[in-house]
Amino acid sequence: MKSRVHNAALFAMYQLCIVVGIAAMPLAIVANQIGLNFPLHRVLANVGEALEKAQK
């Protein structure tokens, strides 16, 4: 049972990261023109890896 809750929480976090990434896209484009980077891709990759490990 704990495994299902854990998987559901990871899936929700993964989906939330995608939504935040899409919503922050205009801000990220402007920041990139200034020379700043948003490391959201790292967060998404880490959560994605954790989700894949949990589903095995």
Contacts of residue 54, defined as CB under 8 A and 6 or more positions apart, other chains included, come to 3, 6, 7, 10
What is residue 1's predicted lDDT score, i.e. its pLDDT?
55
What is the chain's Cα-based Rg? 14
Q: Any idea what DSSP says for residue 56?
A: -
Alpha-carbon torsion (32, 36, 26, 11), positive or negative: positive
Taking the whole predicted model, whether its pTM rises above 0.75 is answered as no
3's tokens:
């495994």
Contact 17, 40 (CB under 8 A): yes
In the chain, where are the structural domains located? Answer: 2-55
pLDDT tens readout for residues 10-55: 889 889 988 988 898 898 889 889 998 878 788 888 888 888 888 7
